[in-house]
Amino acid sequence: MNLKGSVCIAAHNEAPTISAIIESCMQYDSPLVDEILICDSASTDNTAQVVEQFAERDSRIQLLTSELGKPNACNMLIERARNDALFFFDADVVLGENCIRNLAVTLESESYIAVAAKMMPYSAFVGKFPSIKELIGMPIGNNLLVGRGYAMRKSTIMEKMRTYRYNEIPTDVLHEDLWINALVSADEFTMCKEATVYYDIGTIADYAKSVARGNVAKEQLAKDHFEIYDNFLKEHFAQGSRLKRYIQKFGEIEGTADLMCSIVRFPLRKSILFAYRNIMKRHENKMRKELQEKGGHIVLSQSGRLDSTKKAFETNPQKRYQ
User: Could you tell me the pLDDT band of residue 22, with boundaries at 50, 70 and 90?
Assistant: very high
The Cα–Cα gap between 252 and 236 comes to 18
Greater model confidence, 281 or 240: 281
Residue 193 confidence (pLDDT): 85
pLDDT of residue 255: 53
CB atoms within 10 A of CB 167: 9
If we measure between CA atoms, which residue out of 321, 201, 215, 213 comes closest to residue 268? Answer: 201
Task: Look up the CATH number of the domain holding residue 218.
Answer: 3.90.550.10
- The percentage of the chain sitting over the pLDDT mark of 90, rounded to a whole number, equals 36
Whole-angstrom distance, CA of residue 186 vs CA of residue 176 = 18
Tell me what percent of the residues of the chain surpass a pLDDT of 70: 74
Closest CA to 130 of 194, 198, 208, 212: 198
| HEC profile of the chain | CCCCEEEEEEECCCCCCHHHHHHHHHCCCCCCEEEEEEEEECCCCCHHHHHHHHHHHCCCEEEEEECCCHHHHHHHHHHHCCCCEEEEEECCCEECCCHHHHHHHHHHHCCCCEEEEEEEEHHHHCCCCCCHHHHHHCCCCCCCCCCCEEEEEHHHHHHHHHHCCCCCCCCCCCCHHHHHHHHCCHHHEEEEEEEEEEECCCCHHHHHHHHHHHHHHHHHHHHHCHHHHHHHHHHHCCHHHHHHHHHHHHHCCCHHHHHHHHHHHHHHHHHHHHHCHHHHHHHHHHHHHHHHHHCCCCHHHCCCCCHHHHHHHHHCCCHHHC
Least confident of 50-54, 133-137, 188-192, 303-307: 303-307
pLDDT at 300: 41
Domain that holds residue 306: 5-321
**pLDDT at 32 exceeding the cut of 70:** yes
Surface-to-core class of residue 20, CB atoms within 10 Å of its CB (0-12 exposed, 13-18 middle, 19+ buried): middle
Is-contact 64 90, C-beta < 8 A?
Answer: no
0.85 surpassed by pTM: no
pLDDT at 103: 96
Q: Do 117 and 193 touch, CB atoms closer than 8 A?
A: no
As for how many domains the chain has, the answer is 1
Mean pLDDT calculated for residue range 257-276: 70
157 pLDDT exceeds 80? yes
pLDDT of residue 45: 92
Q: Taking CA 109 as the corner, what is the angle to CA 103 and CA 113, rounded to the nearest 5 degrees?
A: 65
pLDDT value for 265: 67
pLDDT higher than threshold 60 for residue 253:
no
**Residue 245 to residue 141: CA distance in whole angstroms:** 9
pLDDT at 238: 61
Cis status, amide bond into 31, omega within 30 of 0: yes
pLDDT value at residue 129: 58
Q: Whole-number mean pLDDT of the chain?
A: 80
Burial class of 190 by CB neighbour count within 10 A (0 to 12, 13 to 18, 19+): middle
- Whether the pLDDT of residue 7 is over 90: the answer is yes
Query: What's phi and psi for 188, nearest 5 deg?
Result: -100, 5
How much is the pLDDT for 245?
Answer: 52
Mean pLDDT along residues 40-45: 91
pLDDT of residue 273: 79
Indicate if the pLDDT at residue 252 is higher than 60: no
pLDDT reported for residue 206: 77
pLDDT digit string, tens, across residues 178-236 = 888 888 887 888 888 899 998 887 777 777 888 888 888 888 888 888 888 887 777 76
- Length of the chain equals 322
